[in-house]
Structure 1
Amino acid sequence: MVLINLEIKTSWMKKYLIPILLIILSGCAKQVVGEYTYAPCGSILNQTYISDSLDLYMTTFGDTDINLSRKGYPGLKLKKQIFLFNNSDKKNGFDINIFQFTSLEEYEKKILDRNLKSLTFYKIDSNRKSDSSFMVHYQKKNKEIIERIVKLDENSFLRIVASANQNSNIINTDYLKHITEEQMKLSKIGVFKELQSYKNNFFVLRTKLDSLFKNNPSYQIRYLQKLYPAAQITDTMSWQRLLIEYVNLYNSIGSYGNSLHHLKMYEQLSKKNKAPYKDVGTNITLQNLEEFINSQDSNLDVIILNDDHSYPRSRWVASLFLDLLRERGFKYLAVETLTNWKDRDFVTVINFGDGYYSEEPTFNIFLRLAVEKGFKLIPYENYEACQPFTEEDKNDRFFCSNFREYNQAKNIAKIFENEPEAKVFVYAGHGHGKKIKSGSFNPMGSVLSEMLLDKKIVSIDQISFMSRIGQDQNYLKELRKEWESLEPNFLIIENSNEYFTLNKGYDAMLLHPEINFESQDPKEFSKWFYSKNKINNSKIKILKNREAHRIKVYIQDSKVIDECRQMPVFQFNEILKDDLEIFLPSQFKYVINFYDKYDNLINSKSVNPNASNSK
């Protein structure tokens, strides 16, 4: 057990005697405190300590500094209790210690048997909104001590101990009562019980988790694992939904080996519900990216490329388009995943909260490169509420879907209202870029084609052949085996209306190199970080460090990296036993941060790929 002392560094007394207590925790690194962990920054819980069992969280006071070697005055010692944390001001002899214990009867016996000086029990008014069992006041070793006992459940209690020197002219008994009451209010919050109530509504649960841990996918993963033990899931659809959620969350923290593991299980379940591709034999032609772009008319106005939310390589492929499209006059990049930038015309740095899928490192690199190359980012997602008014609309299960697609297209079309000669690169999710209706569903690409009749629009599908376990045609498998490059090829299919239905509504399809789902190498799902290529073209060597349990690489936009806002563009989530060589775009300077097993920052290094020396 690690004992943590939260020692006040600033003028403590001034802060605590003001009417409104300031509840501020310095820094945003995760720290181990007994059986509790200091929640990372960037979420509703960024001022709290979360129990390792994920059952509750609590908050302490003050402008604090984590200290691993000391704790404050403990008050009356009680056996078999767990020390959680301490907030102290040594100069005035003030402490708040918080413990957790299991037997209230044993505690009461201990208090009464010690014949403590000036011992007083205070009953708590049952009408007050509090689970506090009682409060105790006594004197010990020239200390005035107030203890407040908080009931968590039948066999679990918090013990909040506040003490001060008897000769203190500033802190008195009333103040100790007040401060323990405030601490009690902050300590008794059951996170897991609240989340458990949403277990049968996965969409609501995910929304709640996202609000609690906005930029902390690792906590979302931990709570999902606790709420949905794998052995207890028997419904195939629920398991698929959970697996793809894990894939996206692991992608967000750059844990691509775990992503591949869960994606393999998902694909194996999904293939049972997918029809095999029809064999087209050799009735196809292949073009590389440059050949395809150069074959398009000079009056090309819009290119739509789709994103597979679960395959980060689709974002790396999107980065390959940037230079070629800028050469043809494209200067707008419209992206579905970005949030509604109200009152903001232009954003140059994509931080936490500026998008969802853009928090994945490869996606963030794609957007940062686009800005670096002169693209203006446009969020085009619909943020208007869908409100069907007529009975016909209410009975139309596609009404809200089509409402979203229409507003997405409208937001893209606005670019041409302001700049008729604009050229736009649209990066859309999955099937939104189709240029034809699919039954009653009218996707964004189809609506946009109707809105912009005088514009040349080309839509490209890169997700159908991203990977489908056991579904590939033999001829396409042979083509893939010949490739040594990471890059995909354009698949131009003659008589496409006789081919697989997903091709309908697209002008071309991308055929990607095969992903080896049997590979045990975590690099299999993120090869572009480990070999030189057109995007990640600069090698960075990270020397081994066995104390480092996690590495995060940031683009250096300023002297200080704000980890609460800025997203890493590479993460390595294992002990760094050996030297590590990675490849990142040469356009940026980087900061490499090293963290211990408690996520304490232990080292930081600046790297300029274009300079001979790095600090």
Structure 2
Amino acid sequence: MKFFSSLALLLLSIAGYSQENPYWFTDDIKKKVADSTQSQSWRSQMAATYYSISGQYKPALESWDITFGRVKKLSATDSLKFTKLNPVKAKDYILEKAVNEQIVIINEAHHNASHRNFASSLLQGLYDKGYRYLGIETLANDSLNSKKFATLSSGYYSKEPEFGNFIYNALKIGFTLFPYEAEGNNKEREIGEAQNIFNFMKKNKDGKYLIYCGYQHAYEGIHKSWEKTMAGRLSDLTGINPFTIDQTQFSEKSNLKYNEPLLRLVRNTVPVVLKDENQEIYNGEDKDLYTDIKIIHPVTQYSKGRPDWMLNKNRKFYKIPVSKVSSYPVLVLAYRKGEFEQKGIPADIIELNTSKDNRFLILDKGIYDIMIKDKEYKVINIFEKMIK
């Protein structure tokens, strides 16, 4: 009886969920950004965001680079300087450095899901070192602290699976999450974000703070449009110099030719930072607008058609049985048990266009509702799977 009650609840949830589905097929994303009245920049950014939310990592990078991809050359002088830098695992360095910090600020590119995956890998280590509060820019409210997972109403970028996993892991570890987004643009927004974080800090003093933001909000120094960024203004309000981390500059692009030349020299297989002969960390060439460190992310390798950074000691491949798919194309979405009914975020998504496509999800241990949707976004199959 319990099984049938759960199934009935799931089916009722599907009916109410269809109107706000943010997970789309590739062809539908292309149609959504085909508006010729919009700029190419807008189309690139929106397509990159839609692809990212729908679990399509490489197409998100490709769409972004249609407008923003640039071929960069390395001078002989810079090449010589960079070859003298030694790579150190970024995770180890950050966790060691975090011991003596009070505020850590780390950014992301909103279309690059690997940044959320790396940030998630830091959570347990930071919690063990006294970090208790996690401010996330995209959050609309703090209701997920009681729900213990993100939902479609939690925020915009948090609809993406890796963002949902990041939030789920943070709550499971014990972090208290809080929103800090502010209205307005440019300088007004930076002031508002910093003030919102400061207001939270004044009321919550039982631990250290991790702040997760987009792009240049994490930068210190002087911004051409904003003057000081959120990070700089938060430092002024608190009297605390935050430890700032950039993930965006030295991350892979869709094509090797668009990568920063430094990536071609380092050739790392894990995220690293670079130390010089004096043990100083390289943090870029711009000394007017900067972060304390810059992470050099590796170029993604693919296993069974999926990005290798999605795998870790707890995550495993799960192959969708051919028998579970009656027609193509389909979207396959994996929800942690009980989350779909509450408009939760899928832990992983894949699109299958033929029976010959790579059909592997990557999932952490647990029980999942695997949902298969046809081209009209109708659910044609649901089944339960335990990942051990």
TM-score by length of 2: 0.81
Matched, 1:450 2:213: no
Greater length-normalized contact order (CA 8 Å, ≥ 6 residues apart): 2
Q: Is the 8 A contact 1:489 1:511 kept in 2?
A: yes
Matched, 1:465 2:250: yes
Q: Is the 8 A contact 2:136 2:177 kept in 1?
A: yes
Mapped partners of 1:445, 1:460: distance in 2? 11
Aligned pairs for 1:323-402 within 5 A: 323-341=124-142, 346-383=146-183, 386=184, 400-402=185-187
Q: Larger Cα Rg: Structure 1 or Structure 2? A: 1
Q: Is the 8 A contact 1:347 1:377 kept in 2?
A: no
Aligned pairs for 1:169-180 within 5 A: none
Structure 2 residue corresponding to 1:583, chosen from 346, 362, 374: 362
Give the aligned partner of residue 391 of structure 1.
none
Q: CA deviation at 1:503?
A: 8.6
SS of aligned partner of 2:295? strand
Q: CA deviation at 1:340?
A: 3.9
Q: Is the 8 A contact 1:554 1:591 kept in 2?
A: yes
Q: Is the 8 A contact 2:103 2:242 kept in 1?
A: yes
| C-alpha distance 603-326 of structure 1, shift in aligned 2 (>3 A) | same
SS of aligned partner of 1:448? helix
Q: What letter matches 2:243 in structure 1?
A: V
| C-alpha distance 374-498 of structure 1, shift in aligned 2 (>3 A) | closer
Aligned pairs for 1:411-422 within 5 A: 411-422=196-207
Q: Is the 8 A contact 2:220 2:291 kept in 1?
A: yes
Give the aligned partner of residue 251 of structure 1.
52
- CA-to-aligned-CA distance 1:439-488 (integer Å, 9 cap, x gap): 452100000111121x35200111100125535565641321x53xxx31
Mapped partners of 1:327, 1:346: distance in 2? 22
Give the aligned partner of residue 272 of structure 2.
489
Structure 1 residue corresponding to 2:66, chosen from 265, 272, 284: 265
TM-score by length of 1: 0.53
5+ long unaligned stretches in structure 2:
1-10
Give the aligned partner of residue 322 of structure 2.
544
Matched, 1:298 2:99: yes
Matched, 1:318 2:119: yes
- CA-to-aligned-CA distance 1:82-105 (integer Å, 9 cap, x gap): xxxxxxxxxxxxxxxxxxxxxxxx
Q: CA deviation at 1:261?
A: 3.7
Q: CA deviation at 1:259?
A: 2.5
Q: Is the 8 A contact 1:551 1:595 kept in 2?
A: yes
Give the aligned partner of residue 35 of structure 2.
227
Q: Is the 8 A contact 1:40 1:216 kept in 2?
A: no
Mapped partners of 2:67, 2:282: distance in 1? 29
Structure 1 residue corresponding to 2:109, chosen from 305, 308, 331: 308
Give the alignment's Cα RMSD to 1 decimal. 3.4
Structure 1 residue corresponding to 2:352, chosen from 554, 567, 574: 574
Q: CA deviation at 1:490?
A: 1.9
Q: Is the 8 A contact 1:299 1:456 kept in 2?
A: no
- CA-to-aligned-CA distance 1:337-373 (integer Å, 9 cap, x gap): 11145x8875522111211111111111111111111
Q: What letter matches 1:41 in structure 2?
A: S
Q: CA deviation at 1:404?
A: 0.9
| C-alpha distance 513-299 of structure 1, shift in aligned 2 (>3 A) | closer
| C-alpha distance 28-261 of structure 1, shift in aligned 2 (>3 A) | farther
The structure whose residues are more often helix, as a share, is 2
Q: CA deviation at 1:29?
A: 5.9
Q: Is the 8 A contact 1:435 1:449 kept in 2?
A: no
Mapped partners of 1:470, 1:569: distance in 2? 32
SS of aligned partner of 2:252? coil
Q: Is the 8 A contact 2:74 2:261 kept in 1?
A: no
- CA-to-aligned-CA distance 1:420-453 (integer Å, 9 cap, x gap): 3521111110010112222452100000111121
Q: Is the 8 A contact 1:350 1:368 kept in 2?
A: yes
Question: How many equivalent residue pairs?
Answer: 365
Percent of pairs with identical residues: 22
Q: CA deviation at 1:316?
A: 0.8
Q: What letter matches 1:479 in structure 2?
A: V
Mapped partners of 2:187, 2:262: distance in 1? 37
Structure 2 residue corresponding to 1:215, chosen from 22, 41, 45: 22
